[in-house]
Structure 1
Amino acid sequence: MLISKIKIRNFRLLRDTTLDLKKDISLLIGKNNTGKTSFLVLLEHFFNSKKFQYNDFPISIRNEINSINNDTRIDDLSIQLIIEIQYDGNDNLEVISDFMLDLGPDIKTVKILFECGIEKNLLLKKIEGIEEDEKVKFIVKNLNKFLKTKIYAFDDSEHLECEDYFTEYRHKLIPKDLKNVTNLINIQIIHARRNVASSEDSNSKTPLATLTTAHFNSKNDSELPDDNINAINTLVSNMDKKLEEQYDPIFEVFLKNAQDFLNISNLNVKSDIQSKALFENSSQVTYGHNNDILPEHLNGLGYMNILYLLLEIERKKDLFEKQDNSINLLFIEEPEAHTHPQMQYVFAKNIKAVLNKINNLQTLITSHSSHIVSHSNFEDIRYLKVEDNNVEIKNFHTELKKKYSKEPEHFKFLEQYLNIQSAELFFASKVIFIEGITERMLLPLFIQQFDSDNTKDDKEYIPLASQNISILEVGANAKAFAKFLEFLDIQTLIITDIDTTKPQTSEAGNAIYKACPVGNGDYTSNATLRYFLDSPKEFKDKDWGEWFKGLIDDSLTSKHNNIKIAYQSKENSHHARSFEEAFISLNIKKIKDNSDVILGLKLKSELDSNTDMYDLTNKIIDKKSDFAASLLFLALSKDTQWETPQYIKEGLKWITN
């Protein structure tokens, strides 16, 4: 038995949102403000009977609420949470009998509706006679007083195509109590606000010690404490007896005086140590070896956060076991809080083993951490994305695999890249793909210069350096990301080389494509350009010449609206074939002036004699990484102002908007 699907309507950005759950862990990820926390808050509101407010309703339906009248279809404005539960013949059907409305052998699903609706008649009566402007103010301030939460069992299996089922077939909804649901489903939440801090205040109870105390007390309060708890209580009782023997001589004079003054007999001082109080006031979490023990607050925040999470999970496990529900749902919000990348990796690597020890458990984890994502199973990922003022939750692995059905090798590469290299693409607002090491080292410098120039001219300009942009080196594999970028709908700039070649015939009679200056080229060996700019399939195609002319003129557009391809164009009467050639042609004088300290060059004498930039670049570049590092060093330490190639400037301008 498990929760297979959760649907949400009319709650904040969750206008019409569906989540398909895994049987064990579902990892909810997405950019900021995509509804991850709202998802958690909604569950809390319904399961803990918390009050909803006006601002919990989506902006898109507030005008209808503000202008409510007798004709308003009020059921369409309700906040709804629908939980679908799948079961089979091996499950205990007694626990879901309250929700089984069809006993047919083919029916293996029950559905529960939580609904927060507006009591229209009461609200209309209250605002009758109020001026329109005042009506809106009243509704905004007081709507919570006219909201009522109800729970229903329903079966829409015969009306799956009906979009207004809860309005058209309202008479088929069977009212239920919250107790009916909580007897079936136990929801526990570990919030991101975990009060983990490194305070050294000796008078305050540290978070871990507080949590261990709560954990001990919950076990001690159990109707059937385990043997370890009983052993602690026995030790405390024995301590009471021994202390009483020591109390008698200490309090002998006091007791005698009390008896004489007040004529009280059999007055004694008894020891009454409570294990709960003893644990609460005299325990702490420490770490270290032998005599080298350090207190909790000297742990780093990352360690404290992981320890706190583990203790919280253990406490939730006790609650699950105590209530013994058929479905346990644990929600962990942003486990990466306060935690450095290594600890995030440790969490992702080990969390499943910890959670697998809890029976009947499904877990929802929200995260902004690329480290957690990259070390997780991609089949667990649910990607949240805002489209048309509504949050869509995409089943990452299943949906993307379908998109790559004709390119399985690209999908395999993508999985491996995201797992090994970087999963930050999931959280980026924009992406810049670069091809080689030279661009990777120098692009941050170009961005800095671009920001500096634009900030001078436009005071409202938002620097690229402050935007959420991921810069990734992908070599010649950019096309493997195309469907992934489409899936995430991320604005992407691809900086690459025009890589012109001249078709020739080898001695064996085979066609070969030899690198050549742009002016001599008829073809490009760059698969990224051919793919994104939609070239004819073969050089021999009749449309190839026209397409290649468009490539040279930079008049082609990407077949993907949200992706721009930036490559070398004619600048200062020269059309470079590669980044290095474009950079050298623009900065030849400064390179000559600094040739003694620029590494990665050979045949430096060519700088003074060779005016053919294509030939010069091929002759003098020895090691690209050393060359780029030297250029960067001169810019940062000597304030050398390198010129940025125009095609890169245009690309940066495009991704700014």
Structure 2
Amino acid sequence: MVLKEIVVENFRLLKNFKLELKDELSLIIGKNNCGKTSVLIILDKMLNSFDIAWEDVNLVKQKEIYKEINKFNENIEEGNKFLEAIKLQLYIEYDDTDSYENIQNFIMDLDPENNIILLEFILLIDIKNILELKDIIKEREIKDFSTFSRYISKNFTKYFKIKKYSRGYDKKNKKIISDMIEEIENKDIQKVIKVVGIRADRAVSNDERNHALSSLTSRYYEIYRKNIKDESNSIFQELEIELEKTDKALYKIYNGEKGNNEKDSEGIFKRIIDVVKTYGGSDNKINISIGSSISEKNLLTNNTSLYYKHGDEDSSTLPETYNGLGYLNLIGILFEIETKLQELYEQPADINILYIEEPEAHTHPQLQYIFIRNIKNHINNHRDKLNKEKNKYLQIIITSHSSHIVSECNFDDIIYLKRVENNILAKNFNSLKTEYKEDEKRGFKFVKQYLTLNRSELFFADKVICIEGDTERILMPAMMNKVDKIQILKNEITIPLLSQNISIIEVGAYSHVFIPLFKFLGIKVLIITDIDSATKNKGKYKKSHPNKATHTSNASIREFFKESGLDDGDNQFKELIEKKDTDKIKDKIRIAYQISEIEGDYQASSFEDAFISLNKDFILKNKDNLYDYGALKKFNKNEINKDCYNFSLNKIEKKSAFASALLYFDEEENDMEWKVPRYIKEGLLWIQEF
């Protein structure tokens, strides 16, 4: 039995939201403020009966409710006796191996093919409270939404209540059956599904006054002790014996002890006990003593501290607060996982949901790798135990915005959340596979491998710049900086490129393979590539001087313009260089390749070619420096002026050395600054915009 799908309406950012969960581990990822936490909170609030506030209602829905209350008619039809504010639907799937004991009350039909039960939680205001609220609006002369909102925020629970239902569901047509509905009680729901979790705002700190981890040891002990049914367990027998010895020793220390020679030993409380005896008089015979009452629970709650060892086994120990926040956070998560799973094991529901919010908090990449590598096996051990011993099920939800965790996870577990206008969309990563045609499945495999090894940060970027090789990778930050400076001088009010969340990825000539991924992520992308001038003969491309070119050998460019019939043209190269800026944009993706700096001027074929033609003066002024740096071979002025294409092919010693030399000798002060080629500058200005 598993929770298959969550549907949410009007809870915070989740206006119309659907989430398909994995049977074991669901890793929910996405940028900040994309609803990851909201998913966990609504499950927590609805299933654990925590208060929901007016502020939890989606802002658009708040205004709709205000309007609906104002125009509400007392003579409304019988079927519309309330207004909905928030709705949560849980689709639970069961099979023949599951017990029907707890779900039988929620099964709404006898169709053997229908193995879905639907639980619905609705936060609503009924007709009685609507009319009462209308009177309040009239009495207080509430005439605008902001005044109404302030009032309802303070009185929300007075008017709005949560109702819980079991609903009929037509699995074949994937529709809710409107007339099959029955109100249900929370105690019955808790037998079917429970949610416990570890929030991101964990009480972990290396402040010396904070001992959050030490307090977790007592919580763990309490749950562990409850789950040990064998009272003769030697561990607890030993603990009880030691506590009895301690009680006797403390009694002597508290009360004193009579010696053999009639001389009493002094006790901490002996003097006050003697005073009490005096006041009691000889007749009353008041006789008191102070006893030790150490219990297992109190012992663990108030008297355990967590330490860690520094060095080998014989080294001294240090208090928990002396450890780094990353380790404290990891230890805290593990203690909480074990404690909450023990709690669930004590009284499990049919489905038990454990969520962990942002496990990466305070931890460096290595610890994040360790966590995600081990968590699935760790949880699987608990899942197997729960299933085998009690026929119950465990599902895990982890939220994260760590590229390190993503790169180490199983991509089949990923659910990607993205914000689309005023709503949140959830997409399973595996659905990306359908974006690749049957003959492109290798592309999907390549993208998965690339993300694992190189750039899981793409999931959390706002924008992406795709580049071809080392030269662009080395120079791109410098070129972005130069474009930022130009914008500042023009007094253009834009966020600088270097201040934006832009990921730069090196994809070689395979940027077209990534286009389905970029569409899946819904991010803005600039593809910077080379036009790669060529001629075509018998279906084969041959590298050519741009003056003689008829085609491009660049697969990414051909794929980008495939729908416009580029491949059918006789002079593909001419068609490419004549394309307008708007022709180079598809949805959120723009392609940039070499164009002439001035209309009708020299047409380059590669980055180096374009750079040299634009920056001849810079290269000539730095000729000797570039020789010494190993960037260029010996040349004369006529060679660079005559043909930049052949110069770039024959005189660049090593592309990476050439690129790093450009950074090294770039000097703004002495008029020794190089310029950004036009095609790159135009592309960067485009991606700078929001």
Q: Is the TM-score greater than 0.5?
A: yes
Tell me how far 1:446 sits from its aligned partner.
0.8
Separation in 2 of the partners of 1:232 and 1:108?
49
Equivalent residue, structure 1, for 2:243:
236
Q: Give structure 1 stretches of 5+ with no counterpart.
A: 505-509
Q: Contact 2:369–2:404 (CA<8 Å) still a contact in 1?
A: yes
Report whether the alignment pairs 1:331 with 2:361.
no
Structure 1 stretch 322-331 or stretch 582-591: which is displaced more? 582-591
> Once the two structures are superposed, what CA deviation does each residue of 1:318-345 show, in whole Å capped at 9, x if it has no partner?
1111112211001111111111111111
Equivalent residue, structure 1, for 2:561:
533
1:141-220 correspondence to structure 2 within 5 Å: 141-142=151-152, 144=156, 145-157=158-170, 160=173, 169=178, 171-199=179-207, 201=208, 204-220=209-225
Tell me how far 1:609 sits from its aligned partner.
4.3
> Once the two structures are superposed, what CA deviation does each residue of 1:598-654 show, in whole Å capped at 9, x if it has no partner?
334342234564421111111211211122112222338988522111111100011
Separation in 2 of the partners of 1:237 and 1:141?
60
Q: Structure 1 residues 262, 443: CA separation in 2 closer, same or farther (over 3 Å shift)? A: same
SS of residue matched to 1:493: strand
Tell me how far 1:52 sits from its aligned partner.
2.6
Q: 1:575 aligns with which of 572, 597, 603?
A: 603
1:29-68 correspondence to structure 2 within 5 Å: 29-68=29-68
Q: Structure 1 residues 451, 401: CA separation in 2 closer, same or farther (over 3 Å shift)? A: same
Q: Contact 1:79–1:115 (CA<8 Å) still a contact in 2?
A: yes
SS of residue matched to 2:618: helix
Tell me how far 1:80 sits from its aligned partner.
1.0
Give 1:100's aligned amino acid: I
Separation in 2 of the partners of 1:230 and 1:551?
84
Tell me how far 1:480 sits from its aligned partner.
0.7
Q: Contact 2:408–2:452 (CA<8 Å) still a contact in 1?
A: yes
Q: Structure 1 residues 324, 158: CA separation in 2 closer, same or farther (over 3 Å shift)? A: closer
SS of residue matched to 1:173: strand
Separation in 2 of the partners of 1:87 and 1:158?
13
Separation in 2 of the partners of 1:56 and 1:109?
29
> Once the two structures are superposed, what CA deviation does each residue of 1:555-584 show, in whole Å capped at 9, x if it has no partner?
372473211111111115222111111112
Q: Contact 1:74–1:120 (CA<8 Å) still a contact in 2?
A: yes
Separation in 1 of the partners of 2:112 and 2:559?
52
SS of residue matched to 2:101: helix
Tell me how far 1:195 sits from its aligned partner.
2.4
Give 1:193's aligned amino acid: D
Separation in 1 of the partners of 2:422 and 2:90?
23
SS of residue matched to 1:26: strand
When normalised by structure 2's length, the TM-score is 0.87
Equivalent residue, structure 1, for 2:646:
615
Give 1:183's aligned amino acid: K
SS of residue matched to 2:503: strand
SS of residue matched to 2:556: helix
Give 2:344's aligned amino acid: F
Equivalent residue, structure 1, for 2:143:
133
Tell me how far 1:135 sits from its aligned partner.
6.9
SS of residue matched to 2:246: helix
Q: Structure 1 residues 608, 342: CA separation in 2 closer, same or farther (over 3 Å shift)? A: farther
> Once the two structures are superposed, what CA deviation does each residue of 1:66-98 show, in whole Å capped at 9, x if it has no partner?
112235867563311111111111111102112
Q: Contact 1:404–1:411 (CA<8 Å) still a contact in 2?
A: no
> Once the two structures are superposed, what CA deviation does each residue of 1:78-132 show, in whole Å capped at 9, x if it has no partner?
3111111111111111021121122332221111111111224322333233546
> Once the two structures are superposed, what CA deviation does each residue of 1:527-559 show, in whole Å capped at 9, x if it has no partner?
1111112278896x4x232x4322122437247
Q: Contact 1:445–1:632 (CA<8 Å) still a contact in 2?
A: yes
Give 2:280's aligned amino acid: L
Q: Contact 1:74–1:117 (CA<8 Å) still a contact in 2?
A: no
Equivalent residue, structure 2, for 1:551:
576
Separation in 2 of the partners of 1:295 and 1:349?
28
Report whether the alignment pairs 1:624 with 2:655.
yes
Tell me how far 1:375 sits from its aligned partner.
1.2
Q: Contact 1:154–1:172 (CA<8 Å) still a contact in 2?
A: yes
Structure 1 stretch 39-48 or stretch 362-371: which is displaced more? 39-48
Q: Structure 1 residues 434, 159: CA separation in 2 closer, same or farther (over 3 Å shift)? A: closer
What RMSD in Å do the two structures reach over aligned CA positions? 2.6
Tell me how far 1:370 sits from its aligned partner.
1.1
Structure 1 stretch 599-608 or stretch 584-593: which is displaced more? 599-608
What percentage of aligned pairs have identical amino acids? Answer: 36
Separation in 1 of the partners of 2:275 and 2:143?
79
Q: Structure 1 residues 89, 520: CA separation in 2 closer, same or farther (over 3 Å shift)? A: same
Q: Contact 2:533–2:551 (CA<8 Å) still a contact in 1?
A: yes
Report whether the alignment pairs 1:259 with 2:273.
no
Structure 1 stretch 380-389 or stretch 123-132: which is displaced more? 123-132
Q: 1:356 aligns with which of 371, 380, 394?
A: 380
Structure 1 stretch 552-561 or stretch 446-455: which is displaced more? 552-561
SS of residue matched to 1:465: helix
Q: Contact 1:404–1:483 (CA<8 Å) still a contact in 2?
A: no
> Once the two structures are superposed, what CA deviation does each residue of 1:469-514 show, in whole Å capped at 9, x if it has no partner?
111001111111111111122110001111101335xxxxx66533
Q: Structure 1 residues 301, 502: CA separation in 2 closer, same or farther (over 3 Å shift)? A: same
Structure 1 stretch 274-283 or stretch 41-50: which is displaced more? 274-283
Give 2:634's aligned amino acid: K
Q: Contact 1:500–1:515 (CA<8 Å) still a contact in 2?
A: yes
Equivalent residue, structure 1, for 2:624:
596
Separation in 1 of the partners of 2:617 and 2:358?
52
Separation in 2 of the partners of 1:160 and 1:79?
25
Q: Contact 1:332–1:365 (CA<8 Å) still a contact in 2?
A: yes
Q: Give structure 2 stretches of 5+ with no counterpart.
A: 258-264, 387-392
Give 2:44's aligned amino acid: E
Equivalent residue, structure 2, for 1:648:
680
Q: Contact 1:602–1:619 (CA<8 Å) still a contact in 2?
A: no
Q: Contact 2:197–2:354 (CA<8 Å) still a contact in 1?
A: yes
Q: Contact 1:370–1:424 (CA<8 Å) still a contact in 2?
A: yes
Give 1:632's aligned amino acid: L
When normalised by structure 1's length, the TM-score is 0.91
Separation in 1 of the partners of 2:427 and 2:19?
8
Report whether the alignment pairs 1:24 with 2:24.
yes
Report whether the alignment pairs 1:434 with 2:444.
no
Separation in 1 of the partners of 2:474 and 2:203?
40
Give 1:605's aligned amino acid: F
Q: 1:408 aligns with which of 441, 445, 465?
A: 441
Separation in 2 of the partners of 1:474 and 1:337?
31
Q: Structure 1 residues 445, 610: CA separation in 2 closer, same or farther (over 3 Å shift)? A: closer
Structure 1 stretch 366-375 or stretch 266-275: which is displaced more? 266-275
> Once the two structures are superposed, what CA deviation does each residue of 1:1-51 show, in whole Å capped at 9, x if it has no partner?
111111111212212211111110011112222211111121122123233
Q: Contact 1:384–1:392 (CA<8 Å) still a contact in 2?
A: yes
Q: Structure 1 residues 253, 617: CA separation in 2 closer, same or farther (over 3 Å shift)? A: closer
Q: Structure 1 residues 585, 278: CA separation in 2 closer, same or farther (over 3 Å shift)? A: same
Tell me how far 1:282 sits from its aligned partner.
3.4
Q: 1:343 aligns with which of 364, 367, 378?
A: 367
